[in-house]
Structure 1
Amino acid sequence: MAAARERRLPQLHLTLDAPTWAFRCPAPAPVTAATPSTSAARPDGEFRLSDFDMLKVLGRGNGGTVHKASHRRTSALYALKIIHRGHPGADEEVDVVRRVDSPHIVRCHSVLPTPSGDSALLLELMDGGSLDSLVRGGQGGFPEAALAEVAAQALAGLAYLRARRVVHRDMKPANLLVNRAGQVKIGDFGIAEVVSRAGKYRAAYEGTAAYMSPERFDTERLHEGEEDRVDPYAADVWGLGVTVLELLMGRYPLLPAGQELTWAALMCAICFGELPALPDGSASPELRSFVSACLQKDHRKRASVAELVAHPFVAGRDVAAARHALREVIAQRV
């Protein structure tokens, strides 16, 4: 049966070298020339694609391409995401774009018209890249203080999304972006979903298999009728837990080092495997407890975002020290 399921599943690992982001367009504000964009410049319709020079490609995926772009008049730098016309989920991504506006979400400045009919999202450029690029730079895992700050800021973003009934569905290091100021923001809403007011949600197999929760990775394990009762936000908590553990260990944590991330290996590890044993002294009791609360295989027992915000690992951190530790990591690895 596993082989049959494997044949009908989509591509398992859909990461970009640098992820992409999409959000609602806030009110106009000035942009400082020759600097990365950090606030909205103009509402929809006032920018044109021809206003920008494409400097380099930041990432490519099935849905489109992300460019580093410079505004010709001001020299302000942006990330410009071109979503290919007809790509499944393109309309949904633009819908999410128009719902969110938060300092914990990568900011959208405008949705640009294109001659080809593609969707073009003009986005804040995060000059530190992704957490994935930082942890894969060969310098090992993050110090615990920096991890606490990553968790706190990511949870602030997830709390904001939950308040607006948005499920990200692809939480992973590649979709958490950072800047040199030490800010962590959630990006890439390519498979995000808005939960209906009735609470209906599909526990569908979409996203990056390595970071999927058990109830989404293998929906056939759900009891009859349970799919409609799955907490849709629990999957994002699982993805955050895997992310924190990966940043601690410096590699993907749910399989042994060097093992290929095949569908069968991931299914066994995610749905049935135990959490990796961490050596004594490698993590505090608070961090171990936080990861365990995120990675409960039964979605009904998994901690909520609100519970994790109040967890001692996050709420009890020394905020100034944690932010300094994260800025140090970014400065050393970018």
Structure 2
Amino acid sequence: MEYVDGGTLETALARGGTFSEERLATVAREVLEGLAYLHARNIAHRDIKPANILVTSDGRVKIADFGVSKLMCRTLEACNSYVGTCAYMSPERFDPDAYGGNYNGFAADIWSLGLTLFELFVGHFPFLQAGQRPDWVTLMCAICFADPPTLPHTASAKFRNFVDCCLKKESAERWSAAQLLTHPFVCHDPKTS
């Protein structure tokens, strides 16, 4: 395996504080390229979070920890095990009947990416106050019954819309990795504006 010496996005957040939108656009694009590759091969990662995204010495990011990834069948069958990190699980993971009927690992990866980018922007997990460490039931209730979190007004309209496309409660309404790669937030080149 390739050695990646820059740590994870989680450690980068702890060391350097929140990420700029320019940096987040790059992170989003690189993670989406990885997810698009996986999803095109019917593989759902199922545990996207800051601790599972590695940073290279030149600042690129790579998806890591495929321990709970799954090869999805053509029917996108329900996964009967609760694997992954519950804080980053999508609403349909907890309650498939209420949020889309079936668990879709690809849409769940997008939900987790949205939460990850949100966390890197504000500096703490989106459904909680800074420093709060709730139990599994608190997280499940927040994810399933609360409205999706919204970015502060300091975020640009493009970034807010991008995160909104990731954090749709209904799994069928979330954009796919391929669709998100066309979103203006990740397509925008700040050097040309």
Using structure 2 for the length normalisation, give the TM-score: 0.91
Alignment partner, residue 141 of structure 2: 268
Whichever residue aligns with residue 271 of structure 1, its letter is C
Secondary structure of 2:11's counterpart equals helix
- Give the aligned partner of residue 12 of structure 2: 134
Q: Which has the higher strand share?
A: 1
Alignment of 1:74-153 (within 5 A): 123-137=1-15, 139-153=16-30
How far apart in 1 are the matches of 2:25 and 2:84? 25
Shift of 1:198: 4.5
Shift of 1:171: 0.4
Aligned partners of 2:175 and 2:167: how far apart in 1? 9
* Secondary structure, aligned partner of 2:28: helix
* C-alpha displacement of 1:172: 0.4
Q: For 1:250 and 1:204, locate their aligned partners in 2 and report how far apart those are by CA, in whole Å.
A: 30
The aligned amino acid for 2:166 is C
Matches within 5 A, 1:313-324: 313-318=185-190
- Note if 1:238 corresponds to 2:75: no
Whole-angstrom distance in 2 between the partners of 1:200 and 1:242 = 24
Structure 1: 5+ residue stretches without partners: 1-122, 322-334
Specify whether residues 203 and 311 from structure 1 end up closer, same or farther in structure 2 by C-alpha distance, changes over 3 A only: farther
The alignment partner of 1:177 has SS state of strand
For residues 11-50 of structure 1, the aligned pairs below 5 Å read none
Measured in 1, the distance between the counterparts of 2:99 and 2:117 equals 26
TM superposition shift of 1:222: 5.5
Corresponding residue SS for 1:185: strand
Cα pair 2:28 2:186 within 8 Å, conserved: yes
- Are the equivalent residues in 2 in contact too, given 1:159–1:305 (CA < 8 A)? yes
Task: Give percent identity, aligned residues only.
Answer: 47
| 3-state SS in 1 of match to 2:105 | coil
Runs of 4+ in 1 over 6 A off after TM superposition: none
Q: Does 1:296 align with 2:173?
A: no
Over alpha carbons, which structure has the higher Rg?
1
Q: CA deviation at 1:220?
A: 5.9
Q: Report what 1:249 is aligned to.
A: 122
Quote how far apart the aligned CAs of 1:297 are: 0.8
Aligned residues: 192
Q: Which residue of 1 aligns with 2:47?
A: 170
Of structures 1 and 2, the one scoring higher in RCO (CA 8 A, sep 6+) is: 2
Distance 1:314 1:287 in 2: 9
Q: Which has the higher helix share?
A: 2
Measured on the aligned residues, the alpha-carbon RMSD in Å equals 1.9
Q: What is the aligned partner in structure 2 of residue 67 from structure 1?
A: none
Name the amino acid aligned to 1:308: L
- Kindly indicate whether the alpha-carbon contact (under 8 Å) linking 2:99 and 2:169 is maintained by their aligned counterparts in 1: no
**TM-score, normalising length from structure 1?**
0.54
Q: Is the 8 A contact 2:91 2:99 kept in 1?
A: no
> Which sections of structure 2, spanning at least 5 residues, go unmatched?
none
